[in-house]
């Protein structure tokens, strides 16, 4: 079998590499010539544990090639972005264009798989109208399915292999063909269903997480009024066998959880998706809440203006991805409050103003408060006795620091969701 993967980003590239490492001939396609060239040169344009060595193997053994236009293959896998527009409606242009781009190369007996996360009915309403242009009879001569990726950045290779997969076919043959393909490397169970159910399942999973995090964020704000540490309360609640409350933070970022729930809001309208819509608003309000808490800390110390060191720009710990990062919003809100903001991230070298970030030492040196926004291991492992900063005030928004250690080192410690300070 040969596979043509359209889109060589966070999902397409690891998937392409994985098949290539299992002896399948893979051709990767990306509209960005720089991405294609970097893959040919075995250079990574994204950071992911284990990707470099797997890419080297795939290219060196000749199983992975790349170019900016598709080639003929037995299977086409579409893994392109499906973002939202400014008005929060789904932008399916990339999915449509990627599908259109393979039409001249698709032959009888081929299988087309969509991996991108999309609003339910996208395969039916966006892909199939393009694929009928092949002149092939869908479900008889051309097979189509949705096999949503469900891997978490940072642990993609582990999860690609071990997670269960949901495969939805436009008919049973398409689903079975897709299952047989992924069995090359998937050890988890592959569950078969129809395409629309698979689309909904994937969007549901991310929405479940968003709603649950919004619940945690709401609880964090309530805890502030009660003088309770919400992290401790959540830990105790989660000892219950049927409770799994997620964790609060400075906001929800990434290209999935902060995006996909809008697909359901668009589908349901104001009436039909109220909880989902409210959760999005709660989570989107957390950067402003975080900035206000920072301001309150400075006010308490009668520091007017003031310099804030924002530590962590990535959307979550141990990744280099800034897409939809709440840190960007927090910085924006702090600047709106008239505060001077410096930033550092061990994984990112330019901030959202596209200017160079500071080193940790530079960022904290004369800051009035250190605000930790991302739970990178580098931050968790910091030895506070070596941190040289004038004001010695810390605000931990992710509960990622060891409070006792920082207090023992002479820092005043503030925690989001804990009003004790």
Of residues 329-368, which lie at the interface with ligand SAJ (CB under 6 A)? none
Which phi and psi angles does 4 have, rounded to 5°? -115, 120
Of residues 161-190, which lie at the interface with ligand SAJ (CB under 6 A)? none
**Residue whose tokens read 């075995």:** 42
Binder among 206, 282, 327, 399 for ligand SAJ (CB under 6 A): 206
Q: List the one residue out of 236, 339, 249, 244 whose CA is nearest residue 294.
A: 339
Question: Does residue number 5 form part of the binding site for ligand SAJ (CB under 6 A)?
Answer: no
Contacts of 274 (CB under 8 A, 6+ apart): none
Number of helices and strands (H, E) in the chain? 17, 13
Distance CA 70, CA 103 (A): 10
User: Cβ 276 to ligand SAJ, closest distance in Å?
Assistant: 14
Which CB sits closer to ligand SAJ, 256 or 334?
A: 256
User: Cβ 179 to ligand SAJ, closest distance in Å?
Assistant: 19
User: Cβ 134 to ligand SAJ, closest distance in Å?
Assistant: 29
Contacts of 302 (CB under 8 A, 6+ apart): none
User: Cβ 388 to ligand SAJ, closest distance in Å?
Assistant: 28
Q: How far is CA 47 from the centre of its chain?
A: 13
Of residues 233-272, which lie at the interface with ligand SAJ (CB under 6 A)? 246-247, 249, 252-254, 256-257
Question: Does residue number 153 form part of the binding site for ligand SAJ (CB under 6 A)?
Answer: yes
Per CB under 6 A, the segment of 165-173, 181-189, 206-214, 408-416 that binds ligand SAJ is 206-214
Question: Does residue number 14 form part of the binding site for ligand SAJ (CB under 6 A)?
Answer: no
User: Cβ 78 to ligand SAJ, closest distance in Å?
Assistant: 15
Phi/psi region, residue 332 (left: phi>0; alpha: psi -120 to 50; beta: rest), is alpha
Question: Does residue number 316 form part of the binding site for ligand SAJ (CB under 6 A)?
Answer: yes
Distance CA 1, CA 181 (A): 9
Q: CA dihedral defined by 219, 223, 225, 227, rounded to 10 degrees?
A: 180
Distance CA 181, CA 170 (A): 16
Distance CA 307, CA 327 (A): 16
Would strands 165-169 and 143-146 be described as parallel, antiparallel, or unpaired?
Answer: antiparallel
Question: Does residue number 143 form part of the binding site for ligand SAJ (CB under 6 A)?
Answer: no
Question: Does residue number 289 form part of the binding site for ligand SAJ (CB under 6 A)?
Answer: no
DSSP 8-state assignment for residue 67: E
**Residue whose tokens read 């219950």:** 240
Question: Does residue number 230 form part of the binding site for ligand SAJ (CB under 6 A)?
Answer: no
Question: Does residue 44 contact residue 80 with C-beta atoms inside 8 Å?
Answer: no
Question: Does residue 344 contact residue 311 with C-beta atoms inside 8 Å?
Answer: yes
User: Cβ 166 to ligand SAJ, closest distance in Å?
Assistant: 12
Binder among 44, 71, 132, 152 for ligand SAJ (CB under 6 A): 152
Question: Does residue number 415 form part of the binding site for ligand SAJ (CB under 6 A)?
Answer: no
Question: Does residue 249 contact residue 213 with C-beta atoms inside 8 Å?
Answer: yes
User: Cβ 266 to ligand SAJ, closest distance in Å?
Assistant: 17
Size of the site for ligand SAJ (CB under 6 A): 20
User: Cβ 9 to ligand SAJ, closest distance in Å?
Assistant: 11
Question: Does residue number 221 form part of the binding site for ligand SAJ (CB under 6 A)?
Answer: no
Per CB under 6 A, the segment of 89-97, 147-155, 293-301, 302-310 that binds ligand SAJ is 147-155
Of residues 107-136, which lie at the interface with ligand SAJ (CB under 6 A)? 117
Which CB sits closer to ligand SAJ, 214 or 298?
A: 214
Which CB sits closer to ligand SAJ, 130 or 321?
A: 321
Distances (CA, A) of 277 to 83, 206, 264, 266, 271: 17, 13, 9, 9, 10
Distance CA 34, CA 134 (A): 30
Question: Does residue number 156 form part of the binding site for ligand SAJ (CB under 6 A)?
Answer: no
Binder among 213, 233, 363, 371 for ligand SAJ (CB under 6 A): 213
Question: Does residue number 205 form part of the binding site for ligand SAJ (CB under 6 A)?
Answer: yes
Which phi and psi angles does 171 have, rounded to 5°? -155, 175
Question: Does residue number 209 form part of the binding site for ligand SAJ (CB under 6 A)?
Answer: yes
Question: Does residue number 280 form part of the binding site for ligand SAJ (CB under 6 A)?
Answer: no
Helix, strand, or coil here: 155? coil
Positions that interact with ligand SAJ (CB under 6 A): 117, 149-153, 205-206, 209, 213, 246-247, 249, 252-254, 256-257, 315-316
């Amino acid at each position: 079998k040969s596979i043509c993967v359209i889109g060589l980003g966070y999902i397409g590239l690891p998937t392409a590499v994985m098949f290539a490492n299992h002896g399948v001939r893979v051709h990767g396609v990306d509209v960005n010539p720089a991405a294609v060239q970097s893959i040919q040169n075995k250079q990574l344009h994204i950071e992911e544990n284990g990707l470099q060595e797997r890419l080297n193997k795939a290219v060196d053994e000749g199983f992975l090639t790349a170019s900016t236009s598709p080639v003929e293959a037995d299977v086409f896998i579409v893994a392109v972005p499906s973002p939202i527009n400014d008005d929060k409606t789904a932008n399916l242009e990339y999915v449509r264009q990627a599908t259109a781009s393979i039409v001249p190369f698709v032959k009888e007996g081929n299988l087309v798989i969509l991996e991108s996360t999309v609003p339910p009915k996208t395969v039916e309403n966006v892909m199939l109208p393009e694929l009928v242009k092949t002149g092939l009879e869908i479900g008889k001569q051309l097979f189509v399915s949705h096999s949503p990726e469900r891997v978490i950045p940072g642990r993609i290779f582990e999860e690609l292999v071990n997670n269960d997969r949901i495969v939805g076919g436009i008919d049973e043959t398409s689903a079975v063909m897709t299952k047989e393909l992924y069995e090359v490397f998937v050890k988890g169970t592959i569950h078969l269903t129809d395409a629309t159910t698979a689309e909904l399942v994937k969007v549901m999973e991310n929405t479940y997480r968003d709603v649950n995090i919004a619940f945690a964020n709401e609880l964090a704000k309530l805890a502030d009024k009660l003088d309770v540490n919400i992290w401790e309360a959540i830990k105790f609640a989660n000892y219950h066998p049927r409770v799994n409350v997620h964790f609060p933070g400075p906001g929800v970022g990434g290209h999935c959880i902060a995006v996909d729930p809008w697909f359901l809001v668009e589908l349901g309208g104001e009436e039909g998706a109220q909880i989902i819509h409210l959760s999005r608003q709660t989570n989107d309000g957390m950067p402003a809440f975080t900035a206000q808490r920072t301001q309150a800390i400075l006010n308490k110390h009668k520091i007017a203006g003031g310099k804030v060191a924002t530590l962590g720009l990535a959307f979550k710990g141990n990744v280099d991805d800034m897409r939809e990062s709440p840190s960007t919003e927090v910085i924006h809100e702090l600047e709106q409050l008239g505060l001077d903001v410096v930033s550092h991230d061990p994984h990112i070298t330019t901030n959202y103003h596209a200017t160079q970030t500071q080193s940790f030492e530079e960022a904290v040196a004369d800051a009035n408060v250190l605000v930790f926004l991302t739970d990178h291991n580098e931050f968790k492992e910091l030895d506070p006795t070596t941190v040289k900063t004038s004001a010695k005030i810390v605000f931990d928004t992710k509960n990622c620091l060891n409070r006792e250690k920082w207090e023992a080192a002479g820092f005043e410690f503030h925690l989001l969701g804990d009003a004790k300070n």
